[in-house]
Amino acid sequence: MEFVNPLFLYGLAAIAIPIVIHLFNFRRFRKVYFTNVRFLEELQQKTQKQSQIRHLLALLMRILAIASLALAFAQPYIPTSDASMKQQARNAVSIYIDNSFSMGLTSSQGALLDEALGKAREVAMAYGTTDVFQLLTNDFQGVHQRFVNRQEFLQLLDEVEISPARKMISEVMHRQADLFHENRYESRIACLISDFQKNITDVDQIKPDTTINGFLIPVEAIEKSNLYIDSAWFDAPAFRLGQLIKLNVKIKSASDQDFEKVPVKLTINGQQRAITSFDLNAGKEIELELPFTIYESGIQYGTLEITDFPITYDDLLYFTFDVKELIPILAINADEESLYLNSLFQNDSSFFFQNEAENRLDYSSFSRYNLIILNGLNKISSGLTIELNKFAETGGSIAIFPGEEADLDSYRQLFISLNTSFLADKITSDTRVAGINTLSSIYDDVFESVQENIDLPKVTSYYLIRRPTGSMMENQLDLLNGDIFMGSEPAVNGMLYLFAVPLNHEWSNFVKHAMFVPTLYKIGLLSQGASVIYHTAGENERITINKSQSVGDQIFKIRSTNKDFEVIPEIRSLFSQTEIFTQNQIKEAGHYKVVYNDETLAGLAFNYNRKESDLDFYSRADLAKMVTDRGLTHFQVIKPTDKSLTEVIDELSAGIKLTKLFISLALAFLLGEILLLRFLK
């Protein structure tokens, strides 16, 4: 036991007062004469013993009352073994409140966030009016990056709301430590109030800091049930009018109950286009397919929806995709235009096809195309190599049909700049295509099955395609001997489609074969590039704007489709592309668009982070073990108790106070003395 004011222990000397009174009986006696005192002597001996006991008990009550009173003024306490005493200097208290979506669950005291706010108020009341406080939430707002007095802190608590933002526990504690050290406070207390979801509680990443004392204060939901749309994606890499496409949807259960006949709705541009239902067992997941037909070009805004309570933020998933009216393709020809390419692309309303001679090229026009086809070039100039590399950096696709007398050294320079496989020796040998990669994005929907006796292109001569170390080339068509007839691989930010033969019938009958049309057609479609159909709200997303749009000096804006939100994002120009960085400015899920000079350049969709949907939490015992294992000796996990958090924090900070106990004892001893004197005759 220790004392806050030990000087008051000198008051124990007052115990001598009743002792002196007891030892020196100052009462005056009067003499009374009796003729016979034998019976009085017997009575005196009997009552004297009773009186001594009565006086000794009264003396004991007085001594104990005075001692209890002196000890009460000394403010005794029993220090806890694992906590340091609250310092008498000014305390700096940083209180983090988890305001993520999972805090919308219900506890025995209402919503978890309301309970957390109540606990934050109780923590604040455990400290003095001269102490300073800092509020921290997942939003990391600027107004919260300073210490304020208790009254201002309590006012800030009234403004805290559920937010899509989420932070790792290590991030929160790192921010608290930075603020403590910046302000140079000596007495530092950090409190974290959260449901401590497993996917954010990275205690193993916290750096121990012995200058900071702290408390982990868990809040726990009564019912932990959630059914949510986890993700969605298209199998089709590109889109065209009239195409029947399938949207894949993954739905997960974070519940201990089964779900039956739950409907899933798909809307495109505000119109319902598909609906289905599903059954799902507790804790499982399911993938569904929702087919629909594309009826119009341009930006398509889609929404997936289910119904579930109490957590609803993840019942909606927004997405967008773009259906191009025309896919621009450029063919660079050595001599004559290819009749086969003209016949394929110029007669298809899905493509805009242009021919250019290799000696009359306008390099500045490259950015307008999705696909550039090199047709029969015998030599590739250094200037063309540079421009094709720039084209690939902006995400463009390149298809190469080499010339009959190809200068392989000039080709090699292009392949080096693209960091791809390359053409080697010319091989003269009668052979044929023997293998088709039916799993690739080019042929996955071309063949239902490949028969053993299928007629495939014949080859009389071809260039050998060699793979360098680390090559990512994917074989699309193989020859009998295993050599590559056509392969594809990433080239900078675009794609390279490399053929081993020129685009004529002397080397191969490929141009006249049935394989030619679906191969080139799919390459044209795939040149649109795989687009991201949605982003995550509350995070710094990078968005690349279509390279065919000019930047100019106008301002790019991100605007919600209902026009109730608009922000000017950070942009960076790269060749003919523009990169947009949201810098956490998009907080709400929904549909947005990129606007430049009142022209819509792209559609965007933002969804809330699905990591909050996984309702898996650490128990108090788990937290305590992790804190111990990490060596965070100055941190404690608050256990549930009937006491208010103010009392619990006070005891953990300054020990178990005994002042009230000794005041009660002093009153009890005084009452005991009164009862003794009155009833014990």
Report if residue 86 sits inside a domain. no
Query: C-alpha distances in angstroms, 97 versus 100, 124, 139, 167?
Result: 9, 13, 10, 11
In total, the chain counts a number of residues equal to 681
- Rounded Cα distance between 203 and 287, Å, is 34
High-pLDDT (> 70) share of the chain, %:
91
User: Considering 272, 292, 324, which residue would you say is the last residue of a domain?
Assistant: 324
User: Considering 491, 526, 561, which residue would you say is the last residue of a domain?
Assistant: 526
Cβ-contact 135, 154 below 8 angstroms: no
Report if residue 610 sits inside a domain. no
Cβ-contact 478, 433 below 8 angstroms: yes
The CATH number assigned to the domain holding 279 equals 2.60.40.10
Q: Which two tokens stand for residue 58?
A: 């009264």
Average pLDDT over residues 484-489: 97
- Rounded Cα distance between 586 and 446, Å, is 40
Largest Cα–Cα separation, the chain: 162
Looking at the structure of the chain, the number of domains it has is: 5
The CATH number assigned to the domain holding 499 equals 3.40.50.880
SS3 labels along 533-556 = CCEECCCCCEEEECCCCCCCCCCE
**Does pLDDT of 203 surpass 60?**
yes
Report if residue 659 sits inside a domain. no
Closest-CA residue to 456 (of 500, 498, 509)? 509
Same domain, 554 and 462: no
Q: Which two tokens stand for residue 258?
A: 């089964």
Q: Counting beta carbons within 10 angstroms of the beta carbon of residue 311, is it exposed (0 to 12), middle (13 to 18) or buried (19 or more)?
A: buried
- Rounded Cα distance between 498 and 424, Å, is 12
Residues 6+ apart with CB under 8 A from 664: none
Query: C-alpha distances in angstroms, 677 versus 54, 171, 578?
Result: 8, 67, 96
The 8-class DSSP code of residue 91 comes to: E
Same domain, 259 and 192: no
**Packing angle between helix 150-157 and helix 112-125, nearest 10 degrees?**
180
Q: Which two tokens stand for residue 553?
A: 């000096």
Same domain, 367 and 467: yes
**E strand or H helix that includes residue 660:** helix 659-679
- Rounded Cα distance between 404 and 382, Å, is 20
In DSSP notation, 361-376 reads: --GGGGGG-SEEEEES
Same domain, 319 and 331: no
The CATH number assigned to the domain holding 637 equals 3.40.50.410
- Rounded Cα distance between 448 and 87, Å, is 77
Query: C-alpha distances in angstroms, 481 versus 136, 428, 461, 498, 513?
Result: 66, 13, 13, 18, 20
- Rounded Cα distance between 388 and 417, Å, is 9
Same domain, 9 and 155: no
Same domain, 352 and 217: no
Same domain, 454 and 343: yes
High-pLDDT (> 90) share of the chain, %:
60
Cβ-contact 545, 601 below 8 angstroms: yes
Q: What pLDDT digit, counting tens, does each position of 326-381 carry?
A: 999 999 999 899 999 999 999 888 899 999 999 999 999 998 999 999 999 999 99
The 8-class DSSP code of residue 181 comes to: H
Same domain, 454 and 593: no
**Does pLDDT of 84 surpass 80?**
no
Q: What pLDDT digit, counting tens, does each position of 546-581 carry?
A: 644 454 556 889 999 998 899 999 888 776 678 899
Report if residue 634 sits inside a domain. yes
- Rounded Cα distance between 377 and 402, Å, is 6
Residue 82 binned pLDDT confidence (cut-offs 50, 70, 90): very low
Same domain, 517 and 556: no
pLDDT for the residue numbered 83: 44
Report if residue 60 sits inside a domain. yes
Q: Which two tokens stand for residue 181?
A: 């050290």
Report if residue 647 sits inside a domain. yes
For 581, the domain range is 535-604
Q: What pLDDT digit, counting tens, does each position of 119-135 carry?
A: 999 999 989 888 999 99
Report if residue 395 sits inside a domain. yes
pLDDT for the residue numbered 387: 96
Same domain, 561 and 522: no
Cβ-contact 227, 251 below 8 angstroms: yes
Residue 228 in 3-state DSSP? Answer: strand
Same domain, 331 and 444: yes
Same domain, 297 and 407: no
The CATH number assigned to the domain holding 594 equals 2.60.40
pTM for this one?
0.77
Cβ-contact 277, 246 below 8 angstroms: no
Report if residue 509 sits inside a domain. yes
Average pLDDT over residues 263-277: 97
User: Considering 496, 526, 556, which residue would you say is the last residue of a domain?
Assistant: 526
Residue 414 in 3-state DSSP? Answer: helix
